[in-house]
Amino acid sequence: MRLFDTHCHLNIRHFKDDWKEVYERAKDVGVLKMVIVGWDASSSEKAVKMAKELDGVYAACGFHPHDSKLFNEVKHVPFLKELISHPKTVALGEIGLDYYYDNSPRDVQRSVFERQLALAVELDVPVIIHLRDAYEDAFSIIRDVGLPRSGGVLHCYSGGTKFLDRSLNLGLYISFAGVVTFPKAVDLREASRLVPEDRLLIETDAPYLAPKPYRGRRNEPAYLIYVLREVARVKRVDEAELAKITYENAIKFFKLNGM
């Protein structure tokens, strides 16, 4: 099987001593490609640097809603444009809204989300969107600003069945992480069953949200297989077939044909 971890953070301190070993472990179990995602200026820069070093690694660059307060229009729009111009940068992200933690003021989150989304539309680069407890505001912004022709994905989807139809109607891909394996995530598993196969992606969000049986430990891309197995079980699809579907969806979404 070939697997594609569409969202991980090997650029974080948890992997500072062994990220290449983590990458090799992932390859050993079939995770042949992965996207390392930035959340601020330095992590985005690091993601691109890491992507340059290994064939199966790609980068996404952007300001997470937690770090929206650090975003400076004059400084960071040209900065992001430069990073996104690199051939191994495949998306702008992660961007979005997070009203659960409110690490940045909500008005600032909305403004920075709008600006980065508009930049993605201008550059026609896919967007990786983080949403938590902010679906209504996010949907409103997406309707106003639009999505790039390349599309967008709701990473580590948390909206359950309640927000699924509206997300799909906006044209978004839906990505599931280790949370789908948690015993109490019944509604999320139902959402994974309902997502059309051509809109489905999987990820680890490593080092966060390790799936069973590794819950509570450092997550890593090698554990993507557990997400795949759970979604395949719920959808009643053969694991190898779902691996093929999600891998090809990721190749298409990130425009990696031939790479």
pTM of the model: 0.98
Q: What angle do CA 97, 79, 77 make, to 5 degrees?
A: 55
d(CA 7, CA 21): 18
- Single out the residue of 153, 119, 126, 62 nearest to residue 256, CA to CA: 126
Tell me what percent of the residues of the chain surpass a pLDDT of 70.
99
Residues ≥6 apart with Cβ < 8 Å to 214: 223, 226
Domain ranges of the chain: 3-253
Tell me the average pLDDT of the chain: 98
Res 257: pLDDT = 85
Res 48: pLDDT = 98
Q: State the DSSP string of 133-153.
A: S-HHHHHHHHHHH---TT-EE
Question: Is the per-residue pLDDT at 36 higher than 80?
Answer: yes
Cα dihedral sign for 259, 207, 78, 109?
positive
Question: Is the per-residue pLDDT at 204 higher than 90?
Answer: yes
CATH fold of 3-253: TIM Barrel (3.20.20)
Mean per-residue pLDDT, 120-142: 98
Res 258: pLDDT = 62
Six token digits for residue 120: 């993605």
Question: Is the per-residue pLDDT at 26 higher than 90?
Answer: yes
